[in-house]
Structure 1
Amino acid sequence: MSPSGLPGIDYALNPYGGCEHGCVYCYAPEVLHTDWKDWRVVKVRSNIPDRLSKELSGLDGTIGIGTVTDPYQYAEKRFKLTQRCLKILKERDFRIHLHTKSDLVLRDADLLASMRGEVGVTITGIDEKYSKITEPGAPLPVKRLYALEQLTSRGIDTYALIGPILNHLEGNEKDFVDAVVSTGVKRVFIDSLNLRPQLMERLNRMNIRGSEEAKENIRKLAVDSGLIVKNVF
Structure 2
Amino acid sequence: MDYALNPYGGCEHGCIYCYAPGHTHSDLSTWRVVRVKRNVADRLSKELPFAEGTIGIGTVTDPYQAAERRFRLTRSCLEILRENDREVHIHTKSDLVLRDMDILGGMRCVVGMTVTTADDRSSKMTEPGAPLPSARLEALGALLDAGMDAYALVAPVMSSLEGREADLADGLAATGVRDVFIEGLNTRLVDMTRMDRMRISHSARAEAELARQCLRRGLTVNGRSG
What band does the TM-score fall into relative to the shorter chain? over 0.9
Deviation of 1:76 (Å): 0.3
Deviations 1:17-36 (A, max 9, x none): 00000001101111112222
The AA in structure 1 aligned to 2:80 is: I
Give the secondary-structure state (helix, strand or coil) at the position aligned to 1:20.
coil
Aligned to 2:127: 135
TM-score by structure 2 length? Answer: 0.96
Aligned partner of 1:228 among 217, 220, 224: 220
Give the secondary-structure state (helix, strand or coil) at the position aligned to 2:222.
strand
The answer to which of 125-134 and 39-48 deviates more is 125-134
| 8 Å CA contact retained: 2:113, 2:136 | yes
Residue 218 (structure 2) pairs with residue 216 (structure 1): no
Aligned to 2:71: 79
Residue 109 (structure 2) pairs with residue 117 (structure 1): yes
Runs of 4+ in 1 over 2 A off after TM superposition: none
Residue 35 (structure 2) pairs with residue 57 (structure 1): no
TM-score by structure 1 length? Answer: 0.93
**Cα distance in structure 1, aligned partners of 2:93 and 2:189:** 25
Aligned to 1:21: 13
Aligned to 2:86: 94
**Correspondences of 1:171-190 after superposition (within 5 Å):** 171-190=163-182
**Cα distance in structure 1, aligned partners of 2:32 and 2:59:** 16
Alpha carbons of structure 1 residues 197 and 46: separation in structure 2 relative to 1, 3 Å: closer
Deviations 1:35-89 (A, max 9, x none): 2220000000000000000101132100000000000000000000000000100
The answer to which of 77-86 and 198-207 deviates more is 198-207
Q: Give aligned pairs, total.
A: 223
* Structure 1 spans left out of the alignment, 5+ residues: 1-8
**Cα distance in structure 2, aligned partners of 1:111 and 1:151:** 13
The answer to which of 125-134 and 47-56 deviates more is 125-134
**Correspondences of 1:135-214 after superposition (within 5 Å):** 135-196=127-188, 199-214=191-206
What do you get for the CA RMSD once the two structures are aligned? 1.2
The AA in structure 2 aligned to 1:162 is: V
Residue 49 (structure 2) pairs with residue 47 (structure 1): no
Deviation of 1:201 (Å): 2.8
Deviation of 1:197 (Å): 6.2
Percent identity between the aligned chains?
56
Deviation of 1:202 (Å): 2.7
* Structure 2 spans left out of the alignment, 5+ residues: none
The AA in structure 2 aligned to 1:115 is: M
| 8 Å CA contact retained: 2:169, 2:213 | yes
Give the secondary-structure state (helix, strand or coil) at the position aligned to 1:194.
coil
